[in-house]
Amino acid sequence: RKEVEQDPGPFNVPEGATVAFNCTYSNSASQSFFWYRQDCRKEPKLLMSVYSSGNEDGRFTAQLNRASQYISLLIRDSKLSDSATYLCVVIGFMDTGRRALTFGSGTRLQVQP
């Protein structure tokens, strides 16, 4: 099982739709979680951090479910400009005790007019 798994998509949604992605992680001791956005052939950029209490930034809401070991990203009122690949990032400890930052392979979103 991969340490961090995402549905690769693509998720094809019409403008104005609400869409949600999940990201599951295998290490229950993972500590920190983030969502990054990556446009085609560009570098990833931080979208938002994910907290147990959940956090919201405009149309974007991120949630963490520690019991089921997944994080989610909800996008409301989708815009064409939201089309991108969304990467989840999990930070935890490896067996060696070293902190490890693991990227998921990303979920591709395509918002259509």
Which listed residue (8, 10, 14, 54) binds other proteins by CB under 8 A?
A: 8
CB of 82 to other proteins, least distance (A): 19
Q: Which is nearer to other proteins, 72 or 102 (CB)?
A: 102
Nearer Cβ to other proteins (70/103): 103
Is there a contact between 8 and 2 (Cβ–Cβ < 8 Å)?
no
Q: Taking CB under 8 A as the rule, does residue 106 contact other proteins?
A: yes
Considering the complex, what minimum distance in angstroms separates the CB of residue 40 from other proteins? 11
What is the 3-class SS of the chain, one letter each residue?
A: CCCEEECCCCEEEECCCCEEEEEEECCCCCCEEEEEEECCCCCEEEEEEECCCCEEECCEEEEEECCCCEEEEEECCCCHHHCEEEEEEEEEECCCCCEEEEECCCEEEEEEC
Site for other proteins in 15-74 (CB under 8 A): 31-32, 34, 41-46, 49
**Contact positions vs other proteins (CB under 8 A):** 4, 8, 31-32, 34, 41-46, 49, 87, 91, 98-106
